[in-house]
Amino acid sequence: MSSKQGGKAKPLKQPKAEKKEYDEIDKANIQKKKDEEKALKELRAKAQKGALGGAGLKKSLQGQANCTVQLSPQTLMFHPLCSPAASQKHDSATIMELSPVYEMDFWPEFLASSWGKEFVAGGFGGVAGVVAGHPLDTIRIIQQSGIKRSTFNIIRNVTANGGMFALYRGMGAPLASVTFQNALVFQCYATFSRALDSFIPATKPPSYESVALGGTGAGAIQSFVVTPIELIKIRLQLQKQTKPNQTKTGPSTVAKHIIRTNGWTGLFRGLTITLIRDAPSYGFYFLTYEYAREKLHPGCRSSGEESWMTMLVAGGLAGFASWVCCYPVDVVKTRFQAQTTDSPVKYAGIVDCFRKSVRNDGTGVLFRGLGSTVFRAFIVNGSVFTAYETALRFISNNGQ
């Protein structure tokens, strides 16, 4: 049949149907885009308030249609216009050009999490402890190494040769790593103590048994970090006492010498005895602090409203208890790590070091320098917990 009537072609109805269908699709896509943008903004707001951590936010975003998520150490980026398959073909810079990018600053989200708060507060506490106690730590190391002098004579001798700043020699190594070390200790302690008391609500403090066990686990883990740091520190603190005419060296020079002489494993000389010292001492450390703060300020473990004086005294007592319980082990550790190729006495191992120390200097050597050490421990750990709790309060209050 002819499609013409009166010389004119009949208009086809198919294009109108297609146009209507395309219009409906466009409207649906626009609405879908608006819904996705709204959902992304809500998720971003939750993350900034701490309601979602990095993993939770990533999981939630990936649940959104046509959404690509990229996490980097400094920026969390997500964009609704690129599919996951497309994002694998482009780097971050290219994707940012393809569509609007919502940026989530790393630090606000990090500080909103309990882990981030513990990390930063632990770093402040560690720095305060190192600065407050390093001069007395230098005296402890010199006394334990076998040099028989009183505390006053050691101070006079050290300052006469290098001035007051000589008491801070070797502080660079512990100060450089103190943020990570203290963050590791406090976070491991918090994780372990909570895991052991999983049936207790998060609003209530863990039991004293879990506190002790959590501290023991934290001390064992941090031993792997602190062993090379303390080895370098001990060598630096003793270099002017064992070799008065030696040219002054720094942490990097000492570390290179140890690696060149004994290989990379030489940096972990004394790891076993450090584990023996730190595991139980940190158990006593956290147990004493929690018990003392509760006795000094009843109810503060739940409310967190103890005074600075309570923090200072409880922290000081915690340091005192942790050193008294492990001091003989620390003496053996110091002597073992202080040994170099030029040392007059050689130790075949930890047990041999203990036997030779007692045989040559008597049992009293195991407690030499205890007085100055516990005095230092009270000052240092009072400073550590005061700075830690203060920083934790400041971060929490400013994050609300």
- Predicted pLDDT of residue 38: 77
Is 257 contained in some domain? yes
Mean pLDDT of the chain: 76
- Residue 146: pLDDT band by 50, 70, 90 thresholds? low
CA–CA distances in Å: residue 164 to residues 118, 138, 155, 167, 399:
33, 12, 9, 6, 40
**Which among 93, 110, 127 is the end of a domain?**
110
186 with 314, same domain: the answer is yes
- Predicted pLDDT of residue 86: 41
Report, as an integer, the average pLDDT of 6-33.
62
- Predicted pLDDT of residue 104: 45
**Which among 110, 134, 157 is the end of a domain?**
110
251 with 103, same domain: the answer is no
Q: Could you read off the pLDDT of 200-223 as tens digits, one per residue?
A: 887 788 999 999 999 999 999 999
Report, as an integer, the average pLDDT of 108-128.
75
pLDDT at 276 over 90: yes
- Residue 314: pLDDT band by 50, 70, 90 thresholds? very high
Rounded to whole angstroms, how far apart are CA atoms 63 and 276?
48
180 with 233, same domain: the answer is yes
pLDDT at 143 over 90: no
Q: Name the more confident of 89 and 346.
A: 346
pLDDT at 57 over 80: no
- Predicted pLDDT of residue 68: 44
**CATH code: domain of residue 339:** 1.50.40.10
pLDDT at 224 over 80: yes
Is 130 contained in some domain? yes
Of the chain, the percentage scoring pLDDT greater than 90 comes to 29
CA–CA distances in Å: residue 175 to residues 123, 241, 248, 253:
10, 22, 19, 17
Is 11 contained in some domain? no
206 with 82, same domain: the answer is no
Report, as an integer, the average pLDDT of 167-174.
76
147 with 165, same domain: the answer is yes
- Residue 45: pLDDT band by 50, 70, 90 thresholds? low
Is 6 contained in some domain? no
- Predicted pLDDT of residue 191: 86
- Predicted pLDDT of residue 209: 94
Q: Tell me whether residue 157 is exposed, middle or buried, using C-beta atoms within 10 angstroms of its C-beta: 0 to 12, 13 to 18, 19 or more.
A: middle
Is 252 contained in some domain? yes
- Residue 54: pLDDT band by 50, 70, 90 thresholds? very low
- Predicted pLDDT of residue 317: 97
102 Cβ contact list (under 8 Å, min separation 6): 40, 41, 44, 77, 78, 79
91 with 168, same domain: the answer is no
Report, as an integer, the average pLDDT of 355-371.
90
Is 351 contained in some domain? yes
Decide: 306 and 300 in contact? Cβ < 8 Å: yes
- Predicted pLDDT of residue 18: 58
Is 197 contained in some domain? yes
238 with 363, same domain: the answer is yes
Of the chain, the percentage scoring pLDDT greater than 70 comes to 70
Task: Tell me which residue range forms the domain holding 214.
Answer: 113-399
- Predicted pLDDT of residue 1: 46
Q: Name the more confident of 221 and 235.
A: 221
- Residue 243: pLDDT band by 50, 70, 90 thresholds? low
- Predicted pLDDT of residue 75: 38
User: Where is average pLDDT lowest: 64-68, 217-221, 388-392?
Assistant: 64-68
- Predicted pLDDT of residue 121: 83
**Which among 110, 142, 165 is the end of a domain?**
110
48 with 121, same domain: the answer is no
285 with 371, same domain: the answer is yes
- Predicted pLDDT of residue 44: 63
Q: Name the more confident of 309 and 111.
A: 309
Q: Tell me whether residue 16 is exposed, middle or buried, using C-beta atoms within 10 angstroms of its C-beta: 0 to 12, 13 to 18, 19 or more.
A: exposed
- Predicted pLDDT of residue 194: 85
User: Where is average pLDDT lowest: 12-16, 316-320, 392-396?
Assistant: 12-16
70 with 130, same domain: the answer is no
50 with 136, same domain: the answer is no
Which residue in 105, 128, 122 sits closest to 47, CA to CA? 105
Decide: 178 and 123 in contact? Cβ < 8 Å: yes
- Predicted pLDDT of residue 216: 96
- Predicted pLDDT of residue 291: 96
215 with 308, same domain: the answer is yes
Tokens coding 246: 């030696």
Q: Name the more confident of 63 and 280.
A: 280
In total, how many domains does the chain have? 2
Is 26 contained in some domain? no
